Structure 1
Amino acid sequence: MVGSKDLPPSHAIYPVIFFRNQFLTKAQTLPKGTDLSEKVAIITGANTGLGFEAASQLLSYKLSHLIIAVRSAARGDAAAKKLRTRHPQANIEVWIVDMASYESIQTFTRRVETDLARLDIVILNAGLNNPQFRTNPSTGHEEIIQINYISTMLLAVLLLPSLKSKSPRGTPGRLTIVNAALSLNSKLPTLKERPFLQSLDDPKRFAFPAQYCISKTLAHMFLWKLIDHVNADDVIVNLADPAFVKTDLARGLSGGAKIGYHVFGALCGRSIAMGASTFLDAAVAKGKESHGAFIMNYKIHPFNPVLYTPEGKDAIEALWRETLDELAFANVGGILQSLTRFRTLDR
């Protein structure tokens, strides 16, 4: 099985990548006859934009049980009401998870463990793209790195045992983490600094939108190591790029920048429907071949080319150790060791 890290690095320049993504790729839908009856799915950030559209598309394939995981109960309820109108036969629930809070993430995953008898699909879609530097008051990390990387990987790892144990026997759980083609454009300016993760919290080095690109590249780095601990027979984990889509991800912009963003989106952006279809492709259509893969344009693509260099591989190891240390309070390392141990026993 060949994942992204086993492919030769791509050195295509980003303008070429962008042009292919936006203008040369045709939308793909799930195979005819796809039936998600009896399946249970969780989507974070499903109250709006790509998350809402992905939820609607999953439900159109007869998904039986959907959990909308959001920070705001009111917004979640409003989204659930719309989806229930369109899909009255489905069980649609709103569960609260605040990606800025470790405590909220742990509470959410404990609820998954206790309240769900089955779990088939998780799509981690919630993300942040702030033009201003901000720190998370409880962790001290820069906010984009906190939400898009650290908290997302915490939630991902904490959900792995449930995805393994609550999916039907012989059928792996599915975990898709939303990523971005911009991850390929990041040069990782602090690549050689240690501690690596802490170097990304420096306000003097913060740049927009470079920090967003970096946060997505960090997911490449974490997945590089994660698949050494997770068997594709248990849970298939991959990253999905929806490409540049007409959404409100840059809603923090103002003035001319905001106008420019919306004009550019109108001219070049994919439809939300096409963007969300990439999530379904990664989480439903792709098989074990996509384990550990970055999926762009419905195809497995290499990771950021910097990661294939000696410096990149050293940084991967450093980030892995630092992330496990950061998340030691939640026993993330122990969870991964248990998955690895059971993987060996199963063989």
Structure 2
Amino acid sequence: MAATKTIVLITGANSGIGFELAAQLTAKASYHVLMGVRSMQKGNAALAQLQSRNLLGTLELLHLDVTDDETIHRAAETVEKAHGKLDILVNNAAIVSTAPTLRQKLQDEFNTNATGAAVVAESFIPLLRKSTGSPRIINISSGAGSIARRLDPSSVLYKVPGLQYRVSKSALHMITACQWVEHGPAIKVFAYDPGFTQSNLSERNTAENGAKPAAEAVRPLIDVLEGKRDDEVGQLLHNTGVYFW
């Protein structure tokens, strides 16, 4: 029964890092994963693919569009009625906008990458407070949002473009810091950079461009979920350490 399991909500769970995280968590019987998805059609396809693997954990589809407050609030009500709590929130949903103007790109990416994560967390924090375990929020971010790395000529990201994506992830870092100050230590909060990963985030995120498989990116992330890096709480983590904001 889900009541005896660690309940994890992952936004943007039908593909990429979200999908792989759901797969690796439910390889263990102790997890019940709520797959937050904007498109139920894509969500059902992802759910069927995972269920075909005969995983030990359990899965549940949850309609959740991080840019739509009504679906966010409805999702929180659904989780409260079904489970009465949430143990872990992974704010994973993200986009790279293809809009024609910088203004629209900034608005699009902020709405999903920063505002969406903040509103989802605000809606689910009451359920995280009901966890009897070690509740936590993990905001999936990027080293591209690190101001320190942007100004470091030795960084591999120094000349990488994408002002709107960088700024949206910088905003997510401040959201992370504010969440930690406001809700910690009862709720542990982290930002996590999985690195350049194969996904449908953009046309650049391919193996040919050097992106690593999602499975590889997710393995160290699970350490954060399972409390193995709690001494680094409230910071921007990557697979082997911490980046300056």
TM-score interval, normalised by the smaller of the two chains? 0.7 to 0.9
Aligned to 1:180: 142
Residue 129 of structure 1 deviates from its aligned partner by 0.5
Q: Distance in 2 between matches of 1:151 and 1:49?
A: 18
Aligned to 1:244: 196
Given the two structures, how large is their TM-score scaled by the length of structure 2? 0.84
> What code does the residue aligned with 2:146 have?
L
For each residue in 1:241-283, what CA deviation from the matched residue of structure 2 results, as whole angstroms up to 9, or x when unmatched? 01001212114xxxxxxxxx367x4252222111122331222
1:158 to 100, 123, 127: 123
Q: Distance in 1 between matches of 2:56 and 2:239?
A: 32
Q: Distance in 1 between matches of 2:33 and 2:103?
A: 30
Secondary structure at the aligned position of 1:78 is classed as helix
Which structure's relative contact order is higher, taking Cα pairs within 8 Å and 6+ residues apart? 1
- Once the two structures are superposed, the pairs formed by residues 45-56 of structure 1 within 5 Å of their partners are 45-56=12-23
Aligned to 2:54: 87
Aligned to 2:176: 223
Q: Do the aligned partners of residues 134 and 91 (structure 1) sit closer, same or farther apart at CA in structure 2, a change above 3 Å counting? A: farther
Q: Distance in 2 between matches of 1:54 and 1:89?
A: 14
Aligned to 1:272: 214
Aligned to 2:158: none
Q: Distance in 2 between matches of 1:64 and 1:45?
A: 18
- Once the two structures are superposed, the pairs formed by residues 256-267 of structure 1 within 5 Å of their partners are 261=204, 265-267=207-209
Aligned to 1:132: 99
Tell whether the 8 Å contact from 2:26 to 2:55 is kept in structure 1 after alignment.
Answer: no
Q: Do the aligned partners of residues 301 and 262 (structure 1) sit closer, same or farther apart at CA in structure 2, a change above 3 Å counting? A: closer
Q: Distance in 1 between matches of 2:205 and 2:189?
A: 32
> What code does the residue aligned with 1:184 have?
S
Secondary structure at the aligned position of 1:60 is classed as coil
Tell whether the 8 Å contact from 1:163 to 1:235 is kept in structure 2 after alignment.
Answer: yes
Residue 133 of structure 1 deviates from its aligned partner by 4.6
Residue 89 of structure 1 deviates from its aligned partner by 4.5
Q: Distance in 2 between matches of 1:217 and 1:209?
A: 12
Secondary structure at the aligned position of 1:86 is classed as coil
Which is higher, the Rg of structure 1 or of structure 2? 1
> What code does the residue aligned with 2:10 have?
I
Tell whether the 8 Å contact from 2:29 to 2:58 is kept in structure 1 after alignment.
Answer: no
> What code does the residue aligned with 1:239 have?
A
CA RMSD across the alignment: 2.7
Q: Distance in 2 between matches of 1:85 and 1:285?
A: 29
For each residue in 1:171-230, what CA deviation from the matched residue of structure 2 results, as whole angstroms up to 9, or x when unmatched? 321211100011125869xxxxxxxxxxxxxxxxxxx62100110001112222322211
Q: Count residues in correspondence.
A: 233
Q: Do the aligned partners of residues 134 and 143 (structure 1) sit closer, same or farther apart at CA in structure 2, a change above 3 Å counting? A: farther
Q: Return 5+ residue gaps in structure 1 as ranges.
A: 1-36, 189-207, 252-260, 304-347
Residue 143 of structure 1 deviates from its aligned partner by 0.8
- Once the two structures are superposed, the pairs formed by residues 1-347 of structure 1 within 5 Å of their partners are 38-133=5-100, 142-165=107-130, 167-168=131-132, 171-184=133-146, 209-232=162-185, 234-251=186-203, 261=204, 265-303=207-245
For each residue in 1:143-173, what CA deviation from the matched residue of structure 2 results, as whole angstroms up to 9, or x when unmatched? 11111001111111221121121x21xx321
Q: Distance in 1 between matches of 2:84 and 2:103?
A: 34
Q: Distance in 2 between matches of 1:119 and 1:146?
A: 24
Once superposed, which parts of structure 1, at least 4 consecutive aligned residues long, lie more than 6 Å away? 134-137
Q: Do the aligned partners of residues 132 and 155 (structure 1) sit closer, same or farther apart at CA in structure 2, a change above 3 Å counting? A: same
Residue 46 of structure 1 deviates from its aligned partner by 1.0
